[in-house]
Amino acid sequence: MRPIEKHFFERDCRVCARELIGSVFYRGETSGRVVETEAYSEINDEACHTFFRPSARQFVEENDAGTAYVYMNYGRYWLTNVLCVDRVSGERGFVLLRALEPLEGIEIMKRRRNMERPTDLCSGPGKLSMAMGIGKSDHGTSLISSQEHGFHFEEPETKRRVVADRRVGISKAKEFKWRFLEPGNPHVSVPFGKVKP
């Protein structure tokens, strides 16, 4: 498989979120196939951090496409996002990594999560970050080819079926179907069509 380069994330965040499904995300000795993502745009998306967080607006001004935007959710879990900067429209946004199908370093993930079943390891954005050992120190790191932190993505070996659904756990812009997932995959956080209004 070929590494995903910076230009992949220099497009519309919704396109990036969809096309990341099936890719493999690496961090050190751990890796997983991306099976669920969500897109967030700085334009007309009240659920995006750039809408209400000055620090997020500063982040998109100062960083390149492919940079990790890592934040703590509800004071409990670190969530891992990738910055997208559309080189045509200039629109910026994020892709939230929501779920992985674990591939390598599964024993490491089990220890970090204190869980045994593979479907419990990365089936949600907080679980994913914990299993991959991602935290505050990774904020602002390149997720494309960072030697220091061991991050990179590789293109899918085969095309996966992808469906679009409602995003999870938000109170604004709930109508946008900007969650992308591989239907029927047991590692997703919420199955297709099961997001509660």
Asked whether 151 and 27 are in contact (CB, 8 A), the reply is yes
Query: Containing domain of residue 96, as a range?
Result: 6-181
Whether 191 maps to a domain, the answer reads no
Q: Supply the mean pLDDT for the chain.
A: 95
Question: For residue 188, what is the enclosing H or E element?
Answer: none
Which tokens go with 44?
């007309």
| Strands 30-41 vs 179-181: parallel, antiparallel or unpaired | antiparallel
Please determine, for residue 112, whether its predicted confidence score (pLDDT) is greater than 80.
Answer: yes
pLDDT at 146 over 80: no
Residue 1 belongs to a domain? no
Decide: helix, strand or coil at residue 101: strand
Distance CA 26, CA 108 (A): 13
Enumerate the H helices of the chain as residue ranges: 13-19, 49-52, 54-62, 106-113, 125-132
pLDDT at 74: 83
Q: What angle do CA 15, 169, 96 make, to 5 degrees?
A: 35
Is residue 42 included in any domain, yes or no? yes
Please say if the pLDDT value at position 197 is more than 80: no
Banded pLDDT at 196 (limits 50, 70, 90): confident
pLDDT 10s digits, 39-75? 999 999 999 999 999 999 999 999 999 999 999 998 8
How far apart are the C-alpha atoms of 179 and 165, rounded to whole Å?
5
Give the separation between CA 172 and CA 163, rounded to whole angstroms.
Answer: 21
What is the C-alpha separation between 133 and 145, in angstroms, rounded? 17
C-alpha dist (Å) from residue 140 to 15, 71, 90, 182, 191: 22, 11, 20, 28, 31
| Mean pLDDT, rounded, for 123-132 | 98
CA distance 32 to 176: 27
Report yes or no on 195 lying in a domain.
Answer: no
CATH code: domain of residue 129:
3.10.300.10
| Residue 89 within any structural domain of the chain | yes
Q: What is the pLDDT of residue 194?
A: 92
Q: Please name the amino acid found at residue 31.
A: S
Using DSSP's 3-state secondary structure scheme, residue 88 falls into coil
How do beta strands 68-73 and 77-85 pair?
antiparallel
The total of structural domains in the chain comes to 1
User: Per-residue pLDDT for 147 more than 80?
Assistant: no
